[in-house]
Amino acid sequence: MKQEDFFKNLVAHCKEYGFIFPSSEIYDGLSAVYDYGQLGVELKNNIKQYWWKAMVQYNENIVGIDSAIFMHPTIWKASGHVDAFNDPLIDNKDSKKRYRADVLIEDYMAKIEEKIAKEVEKAKKRFGEAFDEAQFTSTNPRVLKYKEEFAEIDKRYVKALEDNNLADIKQIILDLGIVCPISGTRNWTDVRQFNLMFSTQMGSVNEDASTIYLRPETAQGIFVNFLNVQKTGRMKIPFGIAQIGKAFRNEIIARQFIFRMREFEQMEMQFFVRPGTELEWFKYWKEKRMQWHKALGLGEENYRFHDHEKLAHYANAATDIEFNFPFGFKEIEGIHSRTDFDLSAHQKYSGKKLQYFDYELNESYVPYVIETSIGLDRMFLSIISKAYKEEVLEDGSERVVMSIPAFLAPYKFAILPLTKKDGLPEKAREIMDKLKMQFMCQYDEKDAIGKRYRRQDAIGTPYCITIDYQTLEDNTVTIRERDSMSQKRINCNDIAAEANFAF
């Protein structure tokens, strides 16, 4: 199946089964805003819990907070967002469509990478076991030509970004012959900067109202609470503060479903360390976070690092963890060594000391910070895009199955009485009432059992429990596993133990 078709089917499936709906759908929707439905919210909550456990529960030196979305407007001045949280935009004069200039160039470069990957794939098939990828990519003339082209564009692009040279960015677009996908023309406007923060007024009377912003990241809520948490929690450096919450960005290019939204959720952690130790900690968190992603079981080959060559003014090291989404490798999580930039800026703008007294060194300092920042919605998308499968079974029938990791699945068990009579529903209810105290379960007695299995496969329920006449005699049920479709009989009292949802 073509990737575009796969993605379309996935989006349609999410809507059909109650994972994700377009926001305000009865009013024709709101661009780049989505609502999570009855199944989506369960999966989302499970992802949050999975992250929270790994970051807060398993690390004694990390605690969580939940700061307000509205914050003092000066925070965004201090953080640099008022002056520098911009995207470079370009319009096509014929289609009147607006694009992010950097994305146009990066997409072009990604296509060159795809061409290299295709050459490697072809050669792998041709040479079989004897294939040496490193040797192939360093000697094959076609691959070398692509690599050279990539390096040339990359050099120009990084320089233009570093110099903040918008004219040069436009020139790169023109030189590469990038066309508008709608009009097909190269009739571009100049590149302009556009601030991504949403603003609103606080206060009822317009004259004394002050402009406040919907936070574009949750991180600043952590920085401004650094001392509150450190003092009240008696935290000793190194320590971390974690937070899950909404963030808002007026994204211009709103595409790719929940990958880039205007309202989304972040799971962020700021880790405060002694100055001079930050690069060690950066390395630590870089590895730790990658391990966490890979442990999910979506395929190790679907993750890679993208180290930043051009660093933001506040960072002295940065990397992205990229995931292989249906539209290619894209950022799922960012890990930054943010130096003391944020705390120092807040110290300056607020006039309040934000320092830590280190008893071991007998001195005060502004801690350095390592940040891990993952988009919850992107994590959701990574899971469903690898889980969604359209299968043809041995008997020729078809099924759609969502192979969501069992511990994250919205429902853990489906409770299915074989018929609606003869005491089977009562027995099924008895089992349901016991299991639901511990697990999300769904009761279903409508339609033939095969149809009910298909419905549960489509929403990713890992286990179906069928109650039949034998259950009434010996208290056993059939447990059916979603991915293998294998079935066995077990005692009712062993259902919870049979299914292992630990993580």
Binding footprint of ligand GAP on the chain (CB under 6 A): 217, 219, 249, 251, 260-261, 264, 266, 268, 331-334, 371, 373-375, 377-378
Residue placing its CB nearer to ligand GAP in the complex, 220 or 466: 220
- Residue whose beta carbon is closest to ligand GAP: 375
> Dihedrals φ, ψ of 317, to 5°?
-170, 145
CA dihedral (147, 149, 153, 156) in degrees, to 10, reads 100
Residue placing its CB nearer to ligand GAP in the complex, 332 or 465: 332
Q: In angstroms, give the least distance from the CB of 256 to ligand GAP.
A: 9
Q: In angstroms, give the least distance from the CB of 80 to ligand GAP.
A: 12
Cβ neighbors of 342 (< 8 A, separation 6 or more) are 78, 79, 219, 220, 223, 314, 369
Closest CA to 357 of 348, 347, 367, 349: 367
Q: How far apart are CA 426 and CA 443, in angstroms?
A: 12
Closest CA to 169 of 186, 156, 151, 180: 156
Cβ neighbors of 268 (< 8 A, separation 6 or more) are 217, 218, 219, 222, 242, 243, 244, 371, 372, 373, 374
Q: In angstroms, give the least distance from the CB of 249 to ligand GAP.
A: 5
Q: In angstroms, give the least distance from the CB of 329 to ligand GAP.
A: 13
Residue placing its CB nearer to ligand GAP in the complex, 375 or 425: 375
Residue placing its CB nearer to ligand GAP in the complex, 249 or 452: 249
Q: In angstroms, give the least distance from the CB of 15 to ligand GAP.
A: 19
Residue placing its CB nearer to ligand GAP in the complex, 378 or 455: 378
Residue placing its CB nearer to ligand GAP in the complex, 319 or 461: 319
Closest CA to 303 of 285, 335, 325: 325
Residue placing its CB nearer to ligand GAP in the complex, 317 or 459: 317
3-class DSSP state of 386 = helix
Q: In angstroms, give the least distance from the CB of 370 to ligand GAP.
A: 12
CB distance 335 to 281 below 8 Å: no
Count CB atoms within 10 A of the CB of residue 255: 11
Q: In angstroms, give the least distance from the CB of 163 to ligand GAP.
A: 22
